[in-house]
Structure 1
Amino acid sequence: MGGTDITNDGCIGPKSTAFYELRGKGGAGAVTVSECMVHPKTDGSHAYHLDTSILNSLASATYTADAIRRHGAIASIELSHSGMYAGTYMTDKSRQKSMHQWGPSDTVRPDGIEVKALTKELIDEIVASYKETASLAKRAGFEMIMVHGGHGWLINQFLSPYFNKRTDEYGGSLENRCRFAMEVLKAVREGVGPGFPIEFRMSGSELFEGGYTLEDGVEIAKFLEPYIDLLHVSAGTYQRGFGDTHPSMFKEHGCNVYLAAEIKKHVSIPVATIGGLNDPAQMEQIIAEGKADIVYMARALLADPFLPRKVMENRDQEIVKCLRCFTCMAERAATSTRRCTVNPLIGREIEGDEIQPAPVKKKVLVAGGGPGGLYAAYTAARRGHQVILCEKEEELGGILKSEQALPFKHEMYELAGTYELLARQAGVEIHTSTAVTKEYAEKENADALIIAAGSRPLVPPIPGLNGENVVIVNNYYKEKEKVGDEVVVFGGGLAGCECAIHLGMEGKKVRLVEMREVLAPDANVRHRPLLLKEIDKYAEIYTGYKGLEVTAEGVWCENKEGEKVLVPGSTVICALGQRSRTDIVDELRDCAPYVAVIGDASKVSTITNAVYWGYHAALDI
C-alpha cells in the first residue's frame, strides 16, 4: 500500500515506518514498502525516492527495513516508475498536469495530457536507476526487491500493445515489448548480486480490449522467468480497470486467482496471487490446490494487521475482515492519508498499537450496540474499565443489521458479530432489549457514558409513504417477502443504490428515483464509479424526479420539466436517508460526569467515523 507521510523530498516518514512495522509485527511473512520511484527526472510523482543525494533518504529507508525485520518479516521494497501516469497520487492536480509525461510512445492521454516517447538514452538512464536504487535498498537492509511491472505503470506500458506503438527494438513483437522489463531485471540483479530474491509484479492480463490477454501473460512470464525468483500475478490496470486490480465488493473473493493459476502451469519459479483475499480458509485452499505458492494481502492487512498471527494462533473468528468499501484508497486520493472503516488505528500506528491501562478504573455505560458503540465498549474494557453496553433491539449491530440481506455486503453484517466477540472477550457486559433511559442511566450511576444511539430512517410526510406496499430500506432484511417483481427504490443515495443493485441482481425490475441530479453523492470517490456501473446494469434511473405521492401503482413524481409522471412499481423501497436520534442524546446528555456522543447520534455520517469516534471516546475516559 503506497506511502502517506512522504516528505517533500521523497523520504519515508515516521508514520509510514510505523505502519509497515505493524504489518510485520502482525505476522506477515514479508512486508513490501511501496512505491519507490526510481527516476525522478522522468517521474516526478510524489512517492518515495532512494537517493544518497537526499538527506535522510537512506536513513529513513534503513529504519523502515529494520522496523519490519525486527519482528521476523522479510522487508521488501517496490521499485517503480509511473511512466505516462506520473503524478497520479499528487493532491495538486495542476502541478501534475504541468509535468512532462514520458511513455513508450508519443500519444495524448484521455485527459488531454501529451505524452512523449522515451528516447534510447533515457531508457538506458532509467534502467541504470533501477540498478542504483536496488543497490541502495540492499544497503538499507531490505532483503527482497519487488519490481512493479503491472497495473499500467511504465514497465506494463512497454509490455502492452495498447500503450506501446514503438517500431524499434522495444516495440512490435512480444519479445521486443518484454525487452525493457528484461533490461530492468538484469540491472537489478547487477545491483543486488547473486542469491538476493527479486520479485516481479505483473498483470496476468490487462483485462480490456486492446490490452494483452492471459495467453500473452503466460508468454511474458516465460520470457522473464530466467531473471526473477518470484512471480507476483495481479490483474488489470489502474487507468482502465480499477475494480479489476482492486476487486470491489461486487466481485467474488479470489476472482483474479485464475490468472496466477494458469501462469503457474508454465513456469517453474514460485507464483504469488493477490486480489481481495481476506478469508484464511480460501487462502489455504488456493495453496493446497496448487493455484499459487504465496498469497498476498493489502486491504485485508489494513483492516486487521494481526490477521496472519490470528490464523497461526487459531483465532480466525477474531479476524476483522476488510469490507472492500474503498475508504482506504479514497482517503489516500483525497487527503494523502490513510483511514479504514474497521480499523481506527490505521495510519496512526506511531501512537502505539497497545491499549494502555487506565490509571483509575471507572464504570462505563455505552448506549447503543452498533459498530461505534461496540468498538467503544471493546476499547474501554481493554483499558480495564467496568463496561456495560445496552442495546434496545433484540440483536446487536445497529444499522449493520440491514446489510445481511445484501450478499455483496455480508462482511459488513459480520462485522458486528466480530466486534461483539472481541467486546465479550474483553469483559464487556452486554444487555440486549434494554434501552438506556435517563432513569436507567441514573440507576447505573456510571462515571462515563458513551451515547451511540445511532440514527432513524428519514420518512418525510409524503402521502402514501406509510402504505402497505412500502418497505423502509433499513427493514428490507426483515420484510423481503413483501417485495414484488417491480420495485421503485425511492432515494438514490448510497443505501438506495446498493439496494437497487441487489434487487436487480435478483432479477427484479428496478426503477431508481432521485430528486437530485446525481446518484450516491455520499459514496466515496473509489467506490462510487464502480457502484454507478452496477446501477447502469440493474436499474432504470430517474434523476431530477421529486416524489409527490406513493400509491399502489408506484410513485407519482414531478420531473425536471414540471410534469407529473408515474414511476411504476408494485413495491416501494424508501431510502430517503437517516436522521440522528437527537431526542435520546438530549435526554442522556447530563447523565454522567463524562459524556461522549459518537457516530450517527452525533452526525449522520459513516461507519468509519462511528468506529473512529468510539475508539477515541473510550481512550479519553
Structure 2
Amino acid sequence: MQRKYPNLCKPIKIGNVNFRNRMFSAPMGGTDITADCTIGPASTAFYELRAKGGAASVTVSECVVHPETEGSHMFHLDLETVGSLASFTYTADAIRRHGAIASVELSHSGQYAGTYLTDKNKKQGLSQWGPSAAIRPDGLPVKELTQELIDDIVAAYGNTAGLAKRAGFEMVMIHGGHGWLINQFLSPYFNKRTDKYGGCLENRVRFAQEVIDSVRKAVGVGFPIEFRMSGSELFEGGYDLNDGVEIAKLIESKIDLLHVSAGTYQRGFGITHPSMFLPHGSNVYLAAEIKKHVSVPVATIGGLNDPEMMEEIIASGKADVVEMARALLADHELPKKIVTNKDKDIVKCLRCFTCMAERAMTSTRRCTVNPLIGRELGGSEVIPSPHPGKVLVAGGGPGGLEAAITAAKRGHKVILCEKSDELGGILKGEQAIPFKYEMYELGVTLGKLAKDAGVEIRLNTTVTKEYVNKENVDALIIAVGSEPLVPPIPGLHGDNVVVVNDYYLEKDKVKSEVVVLGGGLAGCEAAIHLAQEGKTVHLVEMRAELAPDANIRHRPILLGEIEKNNKIYVHMEYKGLSVTREGVVCADVACVEHLVPGTTIICALGQRARRDVAEDLIDCAPFVREIGDCVKASTITTAIYQGYHAALDI
C-alpha cells in the first residue's frame, strides 16, 4: 500500500523494542485514581483507547516514585499496596493487546507536590521538597533535600521502573521537564545548592544522571528509557536552549529516546501546552536544534495535529518521533486514519483546554469533540441497533451532526435538516477568526463524516410539526440551537452594529475603532482578533469580571492576551444604554454616563436557547430528544456529548 505519509507511518526501533509508527501518545493524567493511588478501571480504558486508535506507544502519566516526599494524589506503584501492581499490569496488557507499546512516566513534582489535587487546600498539609530551600509563590515553604533523601529518591526511581517492567511495560519515561523535581535540579532558577548538585551545569545535571543510572540498572540494557526534558525553560532566570543542548549531550549516552518539550508548568502553561493563540508546532524548534547535537533519537511535542506538518517534521530530520496528547483525545484514531490514508476524516483538537479544565474541576476527563473521553467504560464502539428505524435530526450544528453520524452508524435511516444553506451551526462564525478556525473546520469534518455514513442532508429546510408528520419518523432529535441575545438597547439594530455570530459575513463593515459590547468568552476572543488586525478595541462588560464562561485553563491565557495587547481598552461594570454613530453610551456603577467611542459595534451579549422551536416539536415522534443549545445555551462539548448519547438511546 502506498502511504500518503510514509515517514509518519515508518516503524522505528528504540532500544530493543520495535514501534509500529512514529506517532506516540504522550503522557496524560489518569481519571479514576483510587484512594490508594492505583489505576482504576476507567483510567485503564482511557489509555487503552489510544492504543486501539493506532498510536505506536501509549504512556501512562505521572507515576510518583517517592510518595514520602511527594504526597500528591497521583499513581503509585509498589508491592505494599494491595492492587497496585495488578492495576499497572492490567493497564499494560490493555495497551499492548492492540499492538502499542506500553510506557509509564516516572515522576516527582518536587516543590510543586499537590498540583493536581482537586482540593487545593490539601497542599497546605503536604511537605514540599526541592533542591533548595525556598518559599513558593503561593507562600508554601520548600525544604531542601538532604543527601540521604536524594539517594532514597534516586533508588526509588529504579525500584519503580523495575516494577513497571515486571507489570509488562516495555518502556519507561523519566519526567525531567516542566518544572518538576529533575527540572528543578537542572534549573539555575530553582537550584541554589553549593554541593555537587549545584552551581555549574555539570553539577546540576548530576541528579538526572543518577536517576537514569538507577533506572537502567533496574530495567537492563536494551529496555527503552525515554527522557522528557524542557529544551528551554522559556523564562528569565531559567536555562535557555543553549543549556538545553548541553544537558542533552550530558545524558544522551544513558538513554534511548530524548523527548524535548518546553517551558515550566507553573510559569507558562499555555506555552508548554501551546494554546490556540500560538502556531501549531511552536515548540518544535527546540527539538530540531537539540537533534543537531545528539545521536540518540529525538521526539518532539506541542500542539501537533496536522499530518502534513508532522510528516515534514520527520522527513526533514527535525525529530524522529512526534508525540501528541490533546490531539489523541480529540481523535484517538488519528494515527490509524493517517496510516490508512483517511487523514481527511481526522477530527482535530481545538486547543480549547476542556480536557485539562475538566480534570482540574472534577478529576475526570472530557473532550469537546470526542464524547468517549473519560467515559470509555461505557463502550467505545457504536453497536448496530437490533431495530433500525427512520431518524430525523433537526439542526446541522455540532450536536445534530454528531447525533446523525452516530445514528447512521447504528444502522438507522437518517435525515438531517438544516434551515440554512451550510452545515456547522454556530461554528460557521469561527471561520473569520484565525485562532478559532479549527472550530469552523470541525463543522466541515462532521459534515463529511455524516455524508460518508449515509446521512441524507437537506439544506435550506426548516423542520416544523407538519414536516415531521409528513416524514413519519420513528425518532426525532431536536438540535435547533440558540440565537444571539440582542436586548432592546436603542440603536443596537443599527447598520453600524454587527452581531458577533455574523462577523464572518460582515467583517468588511468593521472599521478601525470598535466597541465590543459583551465581555464573555465570545466577546473577549473577538476583541483579541480585532486587535491583532490592528484595530483599536474597546471591550465593554457589565459584570466585574471578563469571560466567566471560559474554562479555568483557557481563561487565564485569554485574559493574558487581552492584558498584553495595547490596542484593547477594557471597561468593566459598564452597562450599555444606547448605541450611536459615535459609540456606545454606558453607565458605570455610580450611574454616571460615558461614551465609549467606536464607529463599529460588535454585539456579543450571549446566546438564548430556541425554546419556542424546540417546544413546538416535542411531541412529533415516538422517540424525541432535545440536545445542545436548544435546551440551554452551553458549549460544543455539551452538544456533541448529548448528540452522541441521544443517538445511542434510539
Q: Give your verdict on TM over 0.5.
A: yes
CA drift at 1:561: 2.8
Gapped runs of 5+ residues in structure 2?
Answer: 1-27
- Distance, in Å, in 2 between the alignment partners of 1:541 and 1:35 is 40
CA drift at 1:109: 0.5
Residue in 1 aligned with 2:265?
Answer: 238
**Which residue of 452, 457, 470 maps to 1:443?**
470
**Which residue of 479, 493, 499 maps to 1:472?**
499
- Distance, in Å, in 1 between the alignment partners of 2:164 and 2:309 is 34
**Which residue of 30, 48, 55 maps to 1:28?**
55
**Which amino acid counterpart does residue 560 of structure 1 have in structure 2?**
V
**Which residue of 119, 124, 127 maps to 2:146?**
119
Residue in 1 aligned with 2:610?
Answer: 581
1:340-359 to 2 correspondence within 5 Å? 340-359=367-386
CA drift at 1:91: 1.0
What are the superposed Cα offsets for residues 232-274 of structure 1, whole Å, 9 maximum, x if unpaired? Answer: 0000011000011000000000000000000001100000000
**Which amino acid counterpart does residue 459 of structure 1 have in structure 2?**
V
- Distance, in Å, in 1 between the alignment partners of 2:460 and 2:582 is 37
What are the superposed Cα offsets for residues 128-177 of structure 1, whole Å, 9 maximum, x if unpaired? Answer: 00010000001111111100000000000100011111111111111111
Residue in 2 aligned with 1:610?
Answer: 639
1:565 aligns with 2:559: no
Tell me the TM-score normalised to structure 1 length: 0.99
- Distance, in Å, in 2 between the alignment partners of 1:501 and 1:203 is 29
Deviates more, 1:335-344 or 1:66-75: 66-75
Residue in 2 aligned with 1:329?
Answer: 356
What are the superposed Cα offsets for residues 166-223 of structure 1, whole Å, 9 maximum, x if unpaired? Answer: 1111111111110110000000001101111111000000000011100010011011
- Distance, in Å, in 2 between the alignment partners of 1:281 and 1:149 is 29
CA drift at 1:610: 0.2
1:134-173 to 2 correspondence within 5 Å? 134-173=161-200
Name the Cα RMSD after superposition: 0.7
- Distance, in Å, in 2 between the alignment partners of 1:419 and 1:481 is 29
Does the 8 Å contact 2:300/2:321 carry over to 1?
yes
- Distance, in Å, in 2 between the alignment partners of 1:453 and 1:301 is 29
CA drift at 1:351: 2.2
- Distance, in Å, in 2 between the alignment partners of 1:516 and 1:510 is 18
Residue in 2 aligned with 1:220?
Answer: 247
How many equivalent pairs are there?
Answer: 621
Residue in 2 aligned with 1:377?
Answer: 404
Residue in 2 aligned with 1:108?
Answer: 135
Residue in 2 aligned with 1:497?
Answer: 524
Does the 8 Å contact 2:30/2:46 carry over to 1?
no
Residue in 2 aligned with 1:599?
Answer: 628
Structure 1 counterpart SS, 2:302? coil
- Distance, in Å, in 2 between the alignment partners of 1:302 and 1:582 is 32
What are the superposed Cα offsets for residues 104-131 of structure 1, whole Å, 9 maximum, x if unpaired? Answer: 1111101010110011100000000001
Residue in 2 aligned with 1:430?
Answer: 457
1:295 aligns with 2:329: no
**Which amino acid counterpart does residue 561 of structure 1 have in structure 2?**
A
- Distance, in Å, in 2 between the alignment partners of 1:146 and 1:598 is 42
- Distance, in Å, in 2 between the alignment partners of 1:117 and 1:458 is 56
- Distance, in Å, in 2 between the alignment partners of 1:87 and 1:191 is 28
1:75 aligns with 2:102: yes
Structure 1 counterpart SS, 2:62? strand
Structure 1 counterpart SS, 2:75? coil
**Which residue of 238, 244, 256 maps to 1:229?**
256
- Distance, in Å, in 2 between the alignment partners of 1:611 and 1:581 is 17
- Distance, in Å, in 1 between the alignment partners of 2:83 and 2:352 is 36
CA drift at 1:352: 2.1
1:412 aligns with 2:433: no
- Distance, in Å, in 2 between the alignment partners of 1:577 and 1:91 is 30
Structure 2 counterpart SS, 1:59? helix
1:82-101 to 2 correspondence within 5 Å? 82-101=109-128
**Which amino acid counterpart does residue 366 of structure 2 have in structure 1?**
R
Structure 1 counterpart SS, 2:223? coil
**Which residue of 579, 583, 593 maps to 1:550?**
579
- Distance, in Å, in 1 between the alignment partners of 2:410 and 2:101 is 32
Give the % identical residues: 73
- Distance, in Å, in 1 between the alignment partners of 2:621 and 2:634 is 25
CA drift at 1:350: 2.0
Deviates more, 1:86-95 or 1:397-406: 86-95
**Which amino acid counterpart does residue 609 of structure 2 have in structure 1?**
S
- Distance, in Å, in 2 between the alignment partners of 1:466 and 1:422 is 38
Structure 1 counterpart SS, 2:58? strand
1:508-527 to 2 correspondence within 5 Å? 508-527=535-554
